[in-house]
């Protein structure tokens, strides 16, 4: 497992090499072909993903319009973590934008890791808080822009 790749993932950016090696022990790799669905909206959120190679498109199906791409993620990006943390269903679709390799961590393994390593858990959770704040700011900016456009 490439520890530098794990370090690129925002949720693991604050971990030292020993902690990254501990995370690497619970990782596995999965490959997806272009156009293949990694997960779809409504699926159980039982794992998170880190892009090792390729690109992943995060999208939603908009009734009457079809697919709306929300983001195209590159190597090092982490996705699917929200459903792992709050044990909810997937809120979007994730589709291989090109052939890709993903590092996956199963929720049960991730929870056990966090339970048994409090220092690691503390660092990861603060990283997640910062990530969610960043995403909320982007969503607020997008909503503000949408509302401004809809007034014309």
**Domains of the chain, with CATH numbers?**
3-150 (2.60.120.10)
Instruction: Give the side-chain half-sphere CA count within 13 A for 38.
Output: 36
| Measured distance CA(54)–CA(30) in Å, rounded | 12
Give per-residue pLDDT as tens, 68-86.
888 999 999 999 988 888 8
Q: Provide the pLDDT for residue 152.
A: 66
| Structure confidence at residue 55 (pLDDT) | 97
Measured CA to CA, the distance from residue 152 to residue 72 in angstroms comes to: 29
Q: How far apart are CA 81 and CA 21, in angstroms?
A: 19
- Spatial contact of 8 and 75, defined as CB atoms under 8 Å apart: yes
Mean pLDDT of 47-66: 92
The contacts of residue 107 (CB under 8 Å, 6+ apart) are 45, 46, 47, 48, 84, 87
* Beta carbons within 8 Å of 70's beta carbon, 6+ residues apart: 58, 59, 60, 92
Mean pLDDT across the chain: 92
């Amino acid at each position: 497992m490439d520890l530098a790749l794990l370090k690129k993932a925002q949720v693991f950016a604050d971990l030292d090499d020993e902690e990254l090696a501990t995370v690497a022990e619970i990782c596995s790799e999965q490959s997806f072909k272009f156009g293949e669905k990694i997960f779809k909206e409504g699926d159980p959120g039982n794992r998170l993903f880190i892009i090792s190679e390729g690109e992943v498109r995060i999208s939603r199906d908009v009734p009457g319009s079809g697919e709306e791409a929300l983001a195209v993620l590159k190597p090092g990006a982490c996705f699917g973590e929200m459903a792992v943390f709050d044990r909810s269903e997937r809120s979007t679709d994730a589709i291989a934008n090109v052939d890709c390799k993903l590092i996956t961590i199963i929720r049960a393994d991730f929870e056990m890791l966090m339970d048994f390593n409090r220092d690691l858990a503390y660092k990861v959770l603060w990283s997640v808080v910062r990530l969610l704040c960043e995403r909320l700011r982007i969503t607020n900016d997008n909503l503000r822009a949408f509302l401004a456009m809809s007034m014309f």
